[in-house]
């Protein structure tokens, strides 16, 4: 599953996740590229995080060619959201992390130790992971109606 390299785990900001999900709910794009991400995230040319596209690919939301997958289509469906988060957790994160449950301090420590990143980066990685664990649409801010 993982050798603990930081490049194997998403570093996406939680806000980016929600913003992209809103866009996918309106219309799943035919292709996700750096240009699409810059436009979707309201970024200036090439200012969207360079990790966003690889993160989407890592989570199997987008294939290697940038085409959204079936999982990406299901991601936008509120009724399937929890299951999509579960699929991503099981595909991307090792059982030793999943076994820790939803404890932020433990998850942050796990990322810091196993990926050898600084505490700030580990905290961001843990926040994203825990968002997937909670899979709670009520945490969406502002509400996605």
Task: Provide the residue ranges of all domains of the chain, joining segments of one domain with +.
Answer: 7-135
Give the whole-number percent of the chain exceeding pLDDT 70: 87
Residue 74 burial (C-beta neighbours within 10 Å; 0-12, 13-18, 19+) = middle
Q: What is the pLDDT of residue 48?
A: 65
Task: Please say if the pLDDT value at position 140 is more than 80.
Answer: no
Q: What is the pLDDT of residue 7?
A: 59
Preceding amide of 142 cis, omega within 30:
yes
Taking the model in full, what pTM does it have?
A: 0.87
d(CA 140, CA 3): 32
Q: What is the pLDDT of residues 80-121, one digit of tens each?
A: 999 999 999 999 999 999 999 889 999 999 999 999 899 999
d(CA 141, CA 145): 11
Ramachandran quadrant class, 42 (left: phi over 0; alpha: psi -120 to 50; beta: rest): left
Q: If you ran DSSP here, which 8-state letter would residue 66 be given?
A: S
Q: What is the pLDDT of residue 47?
A: 59
Q: What is the pLDDT of residues 22-44, one digit of tens each?
A: 999 999 999 999 889 988 888 76
Task: Please say if the pLDDT value at position 8 is more than 90.
Answer: no
Q: What is the pLDDT of residue 1?
A: 42
d(CA 141, CA 86): 21
Task: Please say if the pLDDT value at position 49 is more than 80.
Answer: no
């Amino acid at each position: 599953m993982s050798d603990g390299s930081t490049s194997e785990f998403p570093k996406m900001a939680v806000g980016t996740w929600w913003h992209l999900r809103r866009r996918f709910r309106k219309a799943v794009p035919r292709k996700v590229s750096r240009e699409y991400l810059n436009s979707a995230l309201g970024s200036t040319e090439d200012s969207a995080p360079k990790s966003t596209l690889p993160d989407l690919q890592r989570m199997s939301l987008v294939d290697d060619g940038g085409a959204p997958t079936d999982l990406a289509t299901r991601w936008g469906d509120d009724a399937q959201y929890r299951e999509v988060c579960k699929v991503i957790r099981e595909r991307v994160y090792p059982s030793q992390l999943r076994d820790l449950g939803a404890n932020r301090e433990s998850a942050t420590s796990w990322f810091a130790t196993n990926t050898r990143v600084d505490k700030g980066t580990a905290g961001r990685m843990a926040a994203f992971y825990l968002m997937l664990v909670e899979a709670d649409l009520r945490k969406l801010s502002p509400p996605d109606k």
